A and B are shown apart, each in its own frame.
Chain A
Amino acid sequence: MKISGRHSIQWTLVFFLTPVILWLFLLIVLPHIDLLFMSFRTEDDSGRMLWSLGNYMRFFSEPIYWLTFVRTAIYSILVTFLTFVIALPVAFYISKVTAPRFQVFLTLLLLLPFWVSELVRVYGWMILLRESGVINHFLLKLGILDRPIEMLYNDVTMIMGLVYTSMLFMVVPLIGVLDSLDDSLIEAAYDLGAGMWSILFKIIIPHAVPGIVSGSIVVFMLTLGNYLTPNLMGGKNSLWFTEQIYNQFIASFNWNQGSAFGFLLLILSSLVIWVGLRLTNQKLTRVVK
């Protein structure tokens, strides 16, 4: 029996698409629909569930909530920017300066820390930075400090931890996009009288925009949704919005409030990425390619 070409293509399509659609629907769409419903329901005084906007209203009326929200957004953007500033020279060095045989080695070196779980890596930082930690020990030994200082539990340390966690996700797309940059373009610019900064801003960055945007989206989303690093490395004053969500779900058992916060975070990340794409004049379809 002969199967017509079009039929067989449709069958393979169904075969490969079904798990993806099931996965998306059962694990992403369905729970989110449930969360969406929950976020619009509140308990009234007599304990009955009612439809209401109360959960969202509470977000705006309690400064601690929306202040954490704004802080999280601004710090995530800052982390993304810092990650980019550090990752660009690293990616440039790996893709353009080193000999090809060292490229793989260096990329592996970057990848290596990511074989260890984020938790262990954060504990590594804590061992280094805490009051009785390695760095304090050496600074005391060398006589630079006369009394150990606490380097953990502040915003600077937390941001450093978040940048460290995100590095790879910025470096890899940047290496990809810089590999596709023809060396002769850099040389031509140099030959035409450009200095280092002109080459960076007129040639390298414009060429790297798709990689920068895709790396930034990943880093931004990972940072915004990170719970572990802010929780362990940030102090009491460095509250992250994910911690607010956690508190609602686990500490207060207020699933409805937690769902509302979850949706606000989703809207925030979508909004920031949309604005970012508009500002850099990129299309999502081109960036994810």
Chain B
Amino acid sequence: MQIDLSVQDVTKKFEEFTAVDTVSFEVNQGDFFSILGPSGCGKTTLLRMIAGFTEPTAGTIHIRGLDMAGIAPNKRPVNLIFQQLALFPMMSVEENIAFGLHRRREKKAAIRKKVDAILQRVDLPGFGEKKVDQLSGGQKQRVAIARCLVLNPTVLLLDEPLGALDLKLREQMKVELKKLQNNVGTTFIYITHDQSEAMVMSDHVAVMNEGRFEQVDTPQNLYNKPKTPFVARFVGENNSWSGTIHQLGETHMEIRTDEGLIFKTKATQQFRPAQGVDLFLRPEAMVIQPDPALTELNRFEVVVSSILFDGANSQLLVNPLDSKKELIVALPQNRQYDYIEEGDKIEVGWDKNSGICFPQK
């Protein structure tokens, strides 16, 4: 498979501050690749280096094998969709989309044809004459995408383009964007701080923190097999305990949490006896009032402090007995647990294979 974008050991320093720190990755042709990270992690800087607006302090960027060093943004085979979309307000939709084609000095008839075709593709036929400020948020979005796609870029860069939309529209655009990418087959590089956007749309996600890539993986692996504590905390919701290793076995180990609970869990990497560890457990990994027949479960009693009803995402906030620690437990809406009320004492249990441990630093 062809590699569209290859980033090798790219570093960007602003005086003393290192925004991007020796990042390397490759993106295959046709991939939907997301860079996920909290604001200020350097993801926008990385994107701007790929687009050509800033030059890396060190490292190389290759697009389809061509070294991009010293090549200006207007000469690169990539296009960027800006956070604020940056549609030209002084032009109509059609002029916006034709802007790049005119710069390439293509023939008028050809431009017209391409603009019409791309408007069809993004589901805005007949919108060419409209002014930019006559469009709704979602329509602007699609014009911005059309304006870049019409140039047939090797790689399309997207800088949190859904950030300004309201929730409902954002959910809808997520699906649309994914479909569009499937249809056109262009390589997308999408940066966002919203993990759900990254998970839903991407083939591969890079989790970025403080200028470095923590993990590059499929969304499923990021969620189920996080490689660092940061990924475990940042991707999806997680409960965490800190504790020490009580008994170290071959595949499993027993840890004692700081609150005094004893849990059996998988040893996914090399640990030393009595080492400090952080244990992460997904809210849905905990079973409420588990069947007594399941003897292998880690079980403990908790007090329900509140019920957060949110349809399919409903959760219980609970405190383990005699503890202030707050845990999140998923509450399936199958009417089985309707009897639970605030202040109730319930038992929860989890399988020893569903937690994940990292050594403490």
Residues of A at under 8 Å CB distance from B?
182, 184-185, 187-195, 198, 202-203, 206-207
B99 is contacted by which of A187, A194, A206 (Cβ under 8 Å)? Answer: A194
Top 4 A-B pairs, shortest CB-CB distance: A188-B86, A192-B100, A193-B103, A184-B86
Residues of B near A194 (CB, < 8 A) are: 74, 99-100, 103
* Mask: chain B, 62-75; 1 = CB below 8 Å from A; 0 = not: 00000000001111
B88 is contacted by which of A189, A190, A191, A195 (Cβ under 8 Å)? Answer: A189
Name the interface residues of B77-124: CB closer than 8 Å to any CB of A: 79-80, 82-84, 86, 88-90, 99-100, 103-104
Instruction: List the B residue with the shortest CB-CB distance to A199.
Output: B74
Q: Does B51 touch A at the CB level, under 8 Å?
A: yes
A198 is contacted by which of B79, B84, B90, B103 (Cβ under 8 Å)? Answer: B103
Q: Report yes or no: B104 in contact with A193, Cβ–Cβ below 8 A.
A: yes
Cα A222 to Cα B148 in complex, Å, equals 46
Residues of B near A198 (CB, < 8 A) are: 103
Q: Report yes or no: A191 in contact with B73, Cβ–Cβ below 8 A.
A: yes
Q: Report yes or no: B84 in contact with A184, Cβ–Cβ below 8 A.
A: yes
Instruction: List the A residue with the shortest CB-CB distance to B80.
Output: A191
A192 is contacted by which of B53, B90, B99 (Cβ under 8 Å)? Answer: B99
Q: Does B147 touch A at the CB level, under 8 Å?
A: yes
Residues of A near B79 (CB, < 8 A) are: 191-192
Min distance, Cβ A268 to any Cβ of chain B, angstroms: 31
Residues of A near B151 (CB, < 8 A) are: 192-193
A187 is contacted by which of B86, B103, B148 (Cβ under 8 Å)? Answer: B86
Min distance, Cβ B55 to any Cβ of chain A, angstroms: 14
Residues of A near B148 (CB, < 8 A) are: 192
Residues of B near A191 (CB, < 8 A) are: 51-53, 73-74, 79-80
Q: Report yes or no: A187 in contact with B90, Cβ–Cβ below 8 A.
A: no
| A-B residue pairs in contact (CB < 8 Å), sample of 23 | A184-B82, A184-B83, A184-B84, A184-B86, A187-B80, A188-B82, A188-B86, A188-B88, A189-B99, A190-B73, A191-B53, A191-B80, A192-B99, A192-B100, A193-B74, A193-B100, A194-B99, A194-B100, A198-B103, A202-B88, A203-B90, A207-B89, A207-B90
Kindly list 12 other residue pairs between chains A and B, CB separation below 8 angstroms, not including A191-B51, A193-B100. Answer: A184-B83, A189-B88, A190-B53, A190-B74, A192-B79, A192-B99, A192-B148, A193-B75, A193-B104, A202-B88, A202-B99, A203-B88
Cα A190 to Cα B73 in complex, Å, equals 6
Which of A182, A184, A203, A207 has the most chain B CB atoms inside 10 A of its CB? A184
Residues of A near B89 (CB, < 8 A) are: 207
Cα A189 to Cα B53 in complex, Å, equals 12
Cα A185 to Cα B79 in complex, Å, equals 13
Residues of A near B74 (CB, < 8 A) are: 190-195
Instruction: List the B residue with the shortest CB-CB distance to A203.
Output: B88
Cα A207 to Cα B147 in complex, Å, equals 20
Cα A194 to Cα B98 in complex, Å, equals 12
Residues of A near B147 (CB, < 8 A) are: 192
Min distance, Cβ A37 to any Cβ of chain B, angstroms: 47
Cα A166 to Cα B52 in complex, Å, equals 39
Residues of B near A193 (CB, < 8 A) are: 74-75, 100, 103-104, 151
Residues of B near A192 (CB, < 8 A) are: 74, 79, 99-100, 103, 147-148, 151
Q: Report yes or no: B84 in contact with A182, Cβ–Cβ below 8 A.
A: yes
Residues of A near B75 (CB, < 8 A) are: 193
Cα A182 to Cα B147 in complex, Å, equals 18
Which of A184, A191, A206 has the most chain B CB atoms inside 10 A of its CB? A191
Residues of B near A195 (CB, < 8 A) are: 74, 103
Which of A192, A194, A195, A202 has the most chain B CB atoms inside 10 A of its CB? A192
Cα A121 to Cα B122 in complex, Å, equals 60
Q: Report yes or no: B104 in contact with A185, Cβ–Cβ below 8 A.
A: no
Q: Report yes or no: A185 in contact with B73, Cβ–Cβ below 8 A.
A: no
Q: Contacts A190-B74, A193-B100, A202-B99 given: A185-B88 contact, CB under 8 Å?
A: yes
Cα A191 to Cα B147 in complex, Å, equals 11
Residues of B near A202 (CB, < 8 A) are: 88, 99
Residues of B near A189 (CB, < 8 A) are: 88, 99
* Mask: chain B, 311-351; 1 = CB below 8 Å from A; 0 = not: 00000000000000000000000000000000000000000
Q: Report yes or no: B90 in contact with A206, Cβ–Cβ below 8 A.
A: yes
Cα A189 to Cα B90 in complex, Å, equals 13
Name the interface residues of B111-156: CB closer than 8 Å to any CB of A: 147-148, 151
Residues of A near B51 (CB, < 8 A) are: 191
Cα A202 to Cα B89 in complex, Å, equals 11
Residues of A near B86 (CB, < 8 A) are: 182, 184-185, 187-188
Residues of B near A188 (CB, < 8 A) are: 80, 82, 86, 88
Instruction: List the B residue with the shortest CB-CB distance to A185.
Output: B86
Residues of B near A184 (CB, < 8 A) are: 82-84, 86
Instruction: List the A residue with the shortest CB-CB distance to B78.
Output: A191
Instruction: List the B residue with the shortest CB-CB distance to A205.
Output: B90
* Mask: chain B, 207-236; 1 = CB below 8 Å from A; 0 = not: 000000000000000000000000000000
Residues of A near B99 (CB, < 8 A) are: 189, 192, 194, 202
Min distance, Cβ A220 to any Cβ of chain B, angstroms: 24
Cα A203 to Cα B99 in complex, Å, equals 11
Q: Contacts A192-B100, A202-B99 given: A187-B53 contact, CB under 8 Å?
A: yes
Min distance, Cβ A19 to any Cβ of chain B, angstroms: 39
Min distance, Cβ A179 to any Cβ of chain B, angstroms: 16
B73 is contacted by which of A182, A187, A203, A206 (Cβ under 8 Å)? Answer: A187
Instruction: List the A residue with the shortest CB-CB distance to B100.
Output: A192
Instruction: List the B residue with the shortest CB-CB distance to A195.
Output: B74
Which of A193, A198, A203 has the most chain B CB atoms inside 10 A of its CB? A193
Instruction: List the A residue with the shortest CB-CB distance to B104.
Output: A193
Cα A215 to Cα B89 in complex, Å, equals 22
